[in-house]
């Protein structure tokens, strides 16, 4: 008799454990977002094939990826924000899950507004790491639910930066293959316009 009631008690306990576990699993499932949305923030002045490479990788990992063009930043950018947005929209038109938007203020607040739980950043070399680590940890402190994910570009783009692209073009060099064709064309136009102004 005693052993039957002990067995019953054990069964009830097992049931409690299993039901409790099931409940936790259900709560977990309902609290998980159905779509994983990622933000890829930056100045994109101009967009390079390094950026495109990272977005392409991100678009395979996440349900949606939003290219977030930062509004303030540099005092004298080469491309205006509307130009940068138009270029990015043009380049990413073929990808159904890539969007382009602008933001200012805190990146994590923009992520929250967009229901994004991931921030994507590109890592080219060790030199990127220190700053990126600080930023990721600060963003985690501000909004712990937003995770930063780092991605490496394909090797040919590990030395490409927007700043270097602008310098090479200004000095008359070619950036063919390092930026999307539309950017190459726009860079040429900008250079011509500047030279005409100077002449
Ligand atoms: P920021 O001014 O924030 O560096 P950028 O537009 O230059 O903005 O870059 C946005 C993101 O893209 C950053 O995470 C940067 O490290 C990354 N990135 C820039 N160039 C490359 C590249 N060639 N390959 C991979 N990631 C890159």
Residue ranges of the domains in the chain? 1-32, 37-158
Mean pLDDT of the residues in the chain? 88
Does 160 contact ligand 1 (Cβ within 6 A)?
yes
pLDDT in tens, 115-142: 999 999 999 988 899 999 999 999 999 9
Q: Quick check: CB of 139 below 6 Å from ligand 1?
A: no
User: Which ligand 1 atom is nearest residue 122's CA?
Assistant: 26
Residue to substitute in 47, 50, 67, 120 for testing ligand 1 pocket (most ligand atoms within 8 angstroms of CB): 50
Q: What is the pLDDT of residues 72-121, one digit of tens each?
A: 766 789 999 999 999 999 999 999 999 999 999 999 999 999 999 999 99
As a whole number of angstroms, the distance between CA 151 and CA 32 comes to 23
Q: Which spans in 39-152 are helix H?
A: 49-61, 81-91, 107-113, 126-142
Mean pLDDT to the nearest integer, 159-174: 95
Res. 1: pLDDT tops 50:
no
CB distance 119 to ligand 1 below 6 Å:
no
Assigned CATH class of 37-158: alpha beta
Choosing from 39, 41, 42 the residue with most ligand 1 atoms within 8 A of its CB, the one to mutate for a pocket test is 42
Among the atoms of ligand 1, which is closest to the Cα of residue 163? 7
Q: Which residue's CA is the nearest one to ligand 1's atom 5?
A: 42
Rounded alpha-carbon distances, angstroms, from residue 1 to 4, 13, 14, 40: 5, 18, 20, 66
Determine which residue's CA is closest to atom 20 belonging to ligand 1: 161
Rounded Cα distance, 139 and 119, in Å = 9
Contact yes or no for 38/111 (Cβ under 8 A)? no
């Amino acid at each position: 008799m005693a052993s039957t009631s002990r067995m019953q008690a054990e069964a009830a306990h097992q049931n409690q454990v299993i039901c409790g576990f099931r409940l936790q699993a259900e709560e977990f499932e309902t609290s998980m977002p159905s779509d994983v949305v990622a933000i890829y923030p930056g100045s994109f002045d101009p967009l390079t094939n390094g950026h495109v490479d990272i977005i392409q990788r991100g678009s395979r990992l996440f349900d949606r990826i939003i290219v977030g063009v930062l509004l303030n930043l540099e005092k004298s950018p080469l491309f205006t924000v509307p130009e940068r947005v138009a270029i990015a929209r043009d380049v990413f038109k073929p990808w159904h899950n890539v969007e382009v938007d602008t933001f200012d203020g805190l990146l994590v607040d923009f992520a929250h507004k967009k229901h994004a739980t991931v921030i994507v950043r590109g890592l080219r070399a060790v030199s990127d790491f220190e700053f990126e680590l600080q930023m990721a940890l600060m963003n985690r402190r501000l909004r712990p639910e937003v995770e930063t994910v780092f991605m490496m570009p394909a090797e040919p783009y590990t030395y490409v930066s927007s700043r270097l692209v602008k310098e090479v073009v200004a000095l008359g060099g070619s950036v063919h293959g390092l930026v999307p064709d539309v950017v190459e064309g726009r860079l040429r136009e900008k250079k011509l316009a500047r030279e005409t102004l100077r002449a």
